[in-house]
Homo-oligomer: A and B are copies of this chain.
Amino acid sequence: MPYVKIEVTREGVTREQKQQLIKGVTDLITSTLNKDPHLTHVVIQEIDLDDWGYAGEQVSVLREKGITAEKK
């Protein structure tokens, strides 16, 4: 009986990426914990940049300063 919530900033996540996250997390839980996937629910929640704070600053402000969350 797993339930997974993924919160991520709203920055153009596509439908295909969401499907990859859902499939990937469900497969991971199935292979790691041997759970029936019909008992696994995954919920993705996109958060507006004004609503996510990191190190005391809104992500919208960080982005305006050119600071991204991308992997280098």
Are A23 and B56 CB-contacts (below 8 A) given A3-B7, A17-B32?
A: yes
Interface residue ranges of A20-72 to B (CB < 8 Å): 20-30, 32-47, 50-61, 69-72
Contacts known (A24-B32, A25-B25, A50-B15); A56 close to B69, Cβ less than 8 A: no
Give the chain B neighbours of A17 by CB distance below 8 A.
32-33
Check A26–B56 contact: CB distance below 8 A: yes
CB-CB under 8 A for A57 and B22, given A45-B51, A50-B15: yes
B20 near A56: Cβ-Cβ < 8 Å = no
A23 to B24, CA, bound (A): 12
Expressed in whole angstroms, the minimum distance between the Cβ of A20 and any Cβ of chain B is 5
